[in-house]
């Protein structure tokens, strides 16, 4: 008898699960159909588009030839021929990384000022906390490229607009992360400084900052990695860096130069990620979590 009950229960549960799976599957299919209709993606469009995409990416591949690989920049098929403007590109990549560094620093400085009143445990009252949190949210939710589009109008074409655009987005992104770190800080030192007569600002400086500094540094480096990626494309709208050059070579269909620049970008980003990862793990050695 118990076996029969078990079988019955088992079958009933199985049926129920099948029903929910089917229901979710139907929702997914409907959503896919609506999205495909909205974005005008049809099997026919895919069938026409994908081979063209394949051809395009095939054209990007460099025509390297084994016996000419290490020849000079004038021989077709050599690395030097592929990367024939490497000096300019490396210079632009340096510019891009420095734009990201400056933007991260500016954004982090402002985030450092805004994060303490945006922490629930340090804000003098709930209204302050609420207002500062919303301000950070506002900074964060506009993508840096939209900032760049607007700032290029105000500051003119060039790296300055890009730096400020990335910095503005960074303020919001880092401010939120900083505030969350501060909210997890030990409040003992804070009470101590306040009890000894320290002001709010002194308590932040001497009780909170030493605790959170390693985490802040780690987040700053993480954001720097993200901003380097962002800085490589911010030039698409005229805001400086390698993006401007990349935009030009893609628009003019200089196939080999596209792949050369993309390879350089990937190498640079990976290198910076690697360095920053090292620094982050060193910064976190002294961190309390």
Partner 1 sequence: MKAVRDEGGRAMKTAGQVTAADIAAAKAAVPGAFGAPPWRRLQRWALAALALAWFVGLLVWFDITPARLSRGISGVWVILRLMVPPSPGAQWQDILQGLGESVAMAFLGTFVAAVLAVPLGLLGARNIVANLLAHLSLRRFYDGLRGMDQLIWALAFVRAVGLGPLAGVLAIAAAEIAVLAKLYAEAIENADPRQPEAVLAAGGTKLLAIRFGLLPQVLPVMLAQVLYAFESNTRSAAVLGVVGAGGIGLQIAERIKVRYWNEVAFIILLILLTVGIIDFLSSRIRRRLIA
The residues of the shown chain that bind partner 1, judged by CB under 8 A, are 31-32, 34-41, 45-46, 49-50, 52-53, 55-57, 60, 95, 98-99, 101-102, 141-143, 145-146, 149-151, 153-156, 158-161, 163-164, 229-230, 232-233, 236-237, 240, 246-247, 250-251, 253, 258, 262, 265-266, 268-270, 273
Which of 185-190's residues contact partners 24+ apart within 8 Å by CB, and which partners?
185/121, 185/211, 185/212, 186/211, 186/288, 187/121, 190/122
Question: Which of 219, 240, 223, 228 shows the shortest CA–CA distance to 272?
Answer: 228
Q: Which is nearer to partner 1, 185 or 232 (CB)?
A: 232
Q: How far is 124 from 191, CA to CA, in rounded Å?
A: 14
Asked if 60 and 255 count as a contact pair (C-beta separation under 8 A), the reply is yes
3-state secondary structure of 120: coil
Q: What angle do CA 131, 135, 140 make, to 5 degrees?
A: 145
CB of 16 to partner 1, least distance (A): 17
3-state secondary structure of 122: coil
CB of 233 to partner 1, least distance (A): 4
Q: Which is nearer to partner 1, 69 or 160 (CB)?
A: 160
Q: Which is nearer to partner 1, 148 or 204 (CB)?
A: 148
Q: Which is nearer to partner 1, 158 or 189 (CB)?
A: 158
Q: Which is nearer to partner 1, 215 or 225 (CB)?
A: 225
CB of 227 to partner 1, least distance (A): 11
From the centroid of its chain, how far is CA 90?
Answer: 22
CB of 70 to partner 1, least distance (A): 23
CB of 224 to partner 1, least distance (A): 14
């Amino acid at each position: 008898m118990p076996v029969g009950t078990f079988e019955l229960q088992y079958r009933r549960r199985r049926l129920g699960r099948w029903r929910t799976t089917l229901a979710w599957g139907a929702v997914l299919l409907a959503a896919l159909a609506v999205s495909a209709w909205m974005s005008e993606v049809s099997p026919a469009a895919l069938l026409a588009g994908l081979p063209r995409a394949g051809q395009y990416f095939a054209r990007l591949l460099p025509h390297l030839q084994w016996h000419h690989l290490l020849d000079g920049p004038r021989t077709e098929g050599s690395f030097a021929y592929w990367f024939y403007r490497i000096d300019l590109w490396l210079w632009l990549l340096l510019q891009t990384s420095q734009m990201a560094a400056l933007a991260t620093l500016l954004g982090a400085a402002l985030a450092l000022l805004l994060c303490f009143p945006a922490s629930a445990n340090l804000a003098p009252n709930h209204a302050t906390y609420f207002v500062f949190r919303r301000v950070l949210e506002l900074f964060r939710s506009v993508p840096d490229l939209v900032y760049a589009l607007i700032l290029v109008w105000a500051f003119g074409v060039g790296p300055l607009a890009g730096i400020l655009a990335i910095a503005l987005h960074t303020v919001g992104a880092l401010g939120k992360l900083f505030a969350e770190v501060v909210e997890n800080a030990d409040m003992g030192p804070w009470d101590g400084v306040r009890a000894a007569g320290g002001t709010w600002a002194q308590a932040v400086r001497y009780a909170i900052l030493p605790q959170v500094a390693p985490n802040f540094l780690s987040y700053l480096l993480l954001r720097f990695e993200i901003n380097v990626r962002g800085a490589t494309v911010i030039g698409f709208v005229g805001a400086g860096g390698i993006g401007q050059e990349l935009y030009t070579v893609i628009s003019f269909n200089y196939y080999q130069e596209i792949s050369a620049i993309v390879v350089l970008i990937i190498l640079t980003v990976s290198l910076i990620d690697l360095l920053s990862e090292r620094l982050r793990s060193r910064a976190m050695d002294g961190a309390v979590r």
